[in-house]
Amino acid sequence: MESDGMRVIYISGMGRSGSTLLDRMLGALPGVCTLGEVTDLWRLVEPGNLCACGAPYSGCAFWTAVGERAFGGWDRADLDRFVFLRRVVPRIRHVSWLARQQLTGERLALVDEYVDYFARVYSAAVEVTGARVIVDSSKFPTVGLCLRFARGVDLRVVHLVRDPRGVAYSWTKQVANPGTGAGVLPRFPPTTSALQWNLQNSIAGLLGSARGWGEGEAAHKVPMRRVYYEKLLDNPRDGIRNLAGFAGIDLAEGDLSFLSDGYADLAVPHNLGGNPMRFSTGRLPLRQDDTWRMALPPRQRRLVSAICAPLLISYGYPLK
């Protein structure tokens, strides 16, 4: 798979599906720089927020260097404008036109302005680290639909899927979020998360048939690889090896030595956003979180299964 631009792996799918863990494992590969959730760029200048390295963003050498190269410093980046664009461009109600092969007029201008922030940050991260591949785990598939219009970005999408009953249970739990002033992550009832699981994964599927920047025949199809959380955790070495090939990374002997039976050895990251495990370093256990099988009440399991039945079957999950 030849690259015509800066190579970016975009992890797309529903929240609480293991994207932070996948991001961290990809970041342990040679020549890979993981940024976390770049859609949360505004958090870099919000007081009280911490980089995954443990330092405030204002005191993190990595993000300071990225800001200097991308915008001449974060104080010169119009992140208020970014927040505005984030609210009006990648909205679910705009999927019908975001999925088009070509955009024109005001729509194209807004998308171009929005994805320029991402492209600047990606490019700056490449300059700072010398990485050949950037990983963005922002997840929102509508953001992915926008990013395919970012010229000079060789976008490759990893569609991460997890059993919706596990996702639904995860969204009911109270999870501390030490990296922000928010205290805890948002919570949603199982019905809400089941409906969102359907919606987000359906839109993510559109990325597999979408085309990137270019005119007419020059517009290339966006490569997409679907990864199942459960299978990834069953055999992480094979899963990461396959994704390395998808990313165009030639692995040498020992490049997967950070993965062993039941654990991964992970270095200090600089992830933006994501769940609290972004702060974990050293030896991390790798095991499926299937607490939902006992903890999610039977009535709620049946309800989520019914709501998600068509995609459950399509993805190969059992209804019961």
Contact 139, 22 (CB under 8 A): no
Q: pTM for the full model?
A: 0.95
pLDDT < 70 stretches in the chain: 1-4, 181-182, 213-219
The dihedral of CA 46, 24, 166, 285: what is its sign?
Answer: negative
Q: CA 176, CA 182: separation in Å to the nearest integer?
A: 9
Task: Name all domains of the chain by residue range, CATH numbers in brackets.
Answer: 6-315 (3.40.50.300)
CB contact set of 266 (below 8 Å; sequence gap of 6+): 24, 25, 27, 28, 258, 280, 281, 282, 284
Say how far residue 45 (Cα) sits from the centre of its chain: 21
Q: CA 270, CA 23: separation in Å to the nearest integer?
A: 11
Contact 28, 264 (CB under 8 A): yes
Return the pLDDT at 320.
85
Burial tier of 284 (Cβ tally within 10 Å: 0-12, 13-18, 19+): middle
Structure tokens at 152: 């000079």
Structure tokens at 134: 């950037």
CB atoms within 10 A of CB 231: 14
Say how far residue 48 (Cα) sits from the centre of its chain: 23
Return the pLDDT at 108.
94
State pLDDT tens for residues 66-103: 999 999 999 999 999 999 999 999 999 999 999 998 89
State pLDDT tens for residues 182-218: 678 889 999 999 999 999 999 999 988 887 766 554 4
Q: Which of 73, 29, 7 is nearest to 269 (CA)?
A: 29
| End-to-end CA gap in the chain | 39
Return the pLDDT at 218.
47
Return the pLDDT at 213.
61
Return the pLDDT at 116.
98
